[in-house]
Amino acid sequence: MATGYFVNSLKLGSLCGLGRLTTATWILVAVLVAMIVCHVTFPTVIYSYSVPKLSWWAQTSSLNTANLIGQYLTTSRPLTPHHWWGFIIGAATCWLLIELRLSFVGFPLHPIGFITWFGWPLDRYWLSVLLGWALKAVVLRYGGFSVFQKAKPFAYGLVVGGTTNLTFWILLRLLFPTSDVIIRD
C-alpha cells in the first residue's frame, strides 16, 4: 500500500524537476518528523487521559491479535471446499512465483509479497518492510555481497527476537487469560 504512494511521490518529484535522491530525502524527512511527532503526542495523550477514555480502537487493538490467535488455537472449524480451493490456488501461485524467481534472474515479484500484500500485516508493518528493503539495498550497493552475508545474522536476530517477544506475550495471554482491562485507574 505505502509503496505505491512512495513510487507516486517519486513520479511527482520527477515531474517537478526534482531528482530521485532529493525526493526520497524529503520523503524520509517527512516520515521521520511524523514518527517523532507521533511518538511524543501519543504517549502524552495516553498518560494524560488513560486508554479507557480513548476510542474503542485504542482500548481493544492490543488485545485483538492475541485473542484472535488464541481463538484459532483453541477452537476447531471445519474446512469447506471454498477454503481448500483458496489454499490450492494460493499454493500454486506461490509455487509459480518461486519457480519464476529461480528461473529468471531479477524477476521482480517475490512470493512473500504475494502472501503479505493483502490485510492488516502489511498495512501495519509497511514501514518496517520499506526500511528493511532500503537497508538491504544500501548494504548491497555500498558494501557488496560479502558485507551482506556478514550482516545476515544480525538481521535474522532482529526478526527472531521480535517474533519471540510477540510469541511470548501471545502465549502468556493464552495460558493466563485476564479481563479486558489489565490496568485500572
Same domain? 110 vs 87: yes
Question: What is the residue type of 60?
Answer: T
Distance CA 95, CA 116 (A): 15
φ, ψ for residue 122, nearest 5 deg:
-70, -35
Same domain? 67 vs 129: yes
Same domain? 89 vs 143: no
Q: Average pLDDT, stretch 71-91?
A: 86
Same domain? 130 vs 112: no
Tens digit of pLDDT for each residue in 69-78? Answer: 777 778 887 8
Number of structural domains (the chain) is: 3
Same domain? 86 vs 169: no
The three-class DSSP label of residue 99 is helix
Same domain? 7 vs 26: yes
Tens digit of pLDDT for each residue in 135-164? Answer: 888 999 999 989 999 998 898 888 888 888
Same domain? 67 vs 149: yes
Same domain? 159 vs 68: yes
Q: Average pLDDT, stretch 21-38?
A: 88
Q: Quick one: the chain helix, strand, coil %, rounded to 5? A: 80, 0, 20
Q: State which residues form the domain around 109.
A: 80-118
Cell of 94: 506461490
Same domain? 147 vs 185: yes
What pLDDT is recorded for position 139?
92
Identify whether the C-beta of residue 147 lies closer than 8 Å to the C-beta of residue 47. no
φ, ψ for residue 3, nearest 5 deg:
-60, -40
Confidence of residue 181 (pLDDT cuts 50, 70, 90): low
The C-alpha angle with vertex 159 and arms to 154 and 164, in degrees rounded to 5, equals 120
Tens digit of pLDDT for each residue in 130-142? Answer: 888 888 889 999 9
The pTM is what? 0.42
Same domain? 113 vs 129: no
Closest CA relative to residue 135, chosen from 121, 118, 119, 152? 152
Same domain? 67 vs 101: no
Q: Average pLDDT, stretch 18-25?
A: 88
DSSP secondary structure string for all residues of 22-88: HHHHHHHHHHHHHHHHHHHHHHHHHHHH-GGGS-HHHHHHHHHHHHHHHHHHH---PPPHHHHHHHH
Same domain? 159 vs 132: yes
